[in-house]
Amino acid sequence: MFPVMSASARDALLTACAPLIWGSTYWVTSQWLPPDRPLTAAVCRVLPAGLLLLLWARQWPAAGQWRRVFGLAVLNIAVFQALLFVAAYRLPGGVAAILGATQPLLVLGWAWLLDGQRPAGAVTTAAVLGVAGMALLLNAPGAQWDTVGVLAAALGAASMACGSYLAGRWQGCQLPVLALTGWQLTLGGLCLAPLAWAWEPPLPALSLTQGLAYGYLSLFGALLAYVLWFRGIVRLPAVAVSSLSLLSPLSAAVIGALALGQWLHGWALAGWLLTLGSVLGVQRLSQRRRSRQ
């Protein structure tokens, strides 16, 4: 007989599917999308997905919730996406990912600062090990530390961590998950669209492969993934959800090995295993603390 999976474990498993899908973004972007249009790619990914969700959900935020919904859209989508691409163009992928791996620690900090929830030592240790594992996995020897890129990566991680924490704290602004996700993607995409229009050249005529790639990033990388992500945010502790974001670079490493022959060896493999152990550790400790409460 197989053990029955608890509701929290099932929620964590479904939420983990989101960063696993996001791990394919680099592969799809590098292989099939037109080059040098990061903001355009972000708009094409989030805005159509948001509009589809709104057409399906057909629910508006309550009059007193608009400010919160817009704030979450700015933090989770617009600011995060913009700073993510600034960091990606100015920093080696390893440095950017190391800074992004600080999200679980930042969520613990937000919980302590806003709600006075002192972080448990074991959870903090597991989160620190995640940063260490990411450093081993993605460390780029001789990398140049660009000041603007470092600030963008750090602020982007802080923005996503704050948005994830507030979404859980506000219990999804009293909206169903589909409507909450749709409004965030739509409003975030509308914030990014003028930047893409002003700073990047228009898209060329797309091939069938490029069109399918944009469709995949929108339907799977935004619509499905963000629905699962925000569903997890309103059901799981914020630090547990944030730690799952580390699965994205782990997924990217596996895809790179299988699709591009970029196999991991030595310290990189040790970092991959340490990061995975950190994610599992945070999930286990968070579930124990939740059951005790």
pLDDT (tens place) for every residue of the chain, 293 residues total:
445 567 778 888 999 999 888 878 777 877 888 888 888 988 999 999 999 999 999 999 988 889 999 999 999 999 887 787 676 666 555 555 556 667 777 777 777 777 666 766 666 777 777 777 777 766 645 445 667 777 877 788 788 888 888 888 887 678 899 999 999 999 999 999 999 999 999 988 899 999 999 999 999 999 999 999 999 988 888 778 888 888 877 787 787 778 767 676 777 777 778 878 888 887 777 776 666 65
Smallest Cα–Cα separation from 29: which of 15, 18, 39, 19?
39
Measured between alpha carbons, how far is 281 from 12 in angstroms, rounded to an integer?
13
Measured between alpha carbons, how far is 162 from 218 in angstroms, rounded to an integer?
24
How buried is 229 (Cβ within 10 angstroms: 0-12 exposed, 13-18 middle, 19+ buried)? Answer: buried
Smallest Cα–Cα separation from 52: which of 171, 192, 227?
227
Measured between alpha carbons, how far is 126 from 123 in angstroms, rounded to an integer?
5
Q: What is the reported pLDDT for 284?
A: 79
Measured between alpha carbons, how far is 21 from 41 in angstroms, rounded to an integer?
16
Smallest Cα–Cα separation from 227: which of 160, 181, 189, 187?
181
How buried is 59 (Cβ within 10 angstroms: 0-12 exposed, 13-18 middle, 19+ buried)? Answer: middle
List helix spans (H) across 92-237.
Answer: 93-100, 103-115, 121-138, 147-169, 177-199, 208-218, 225-235
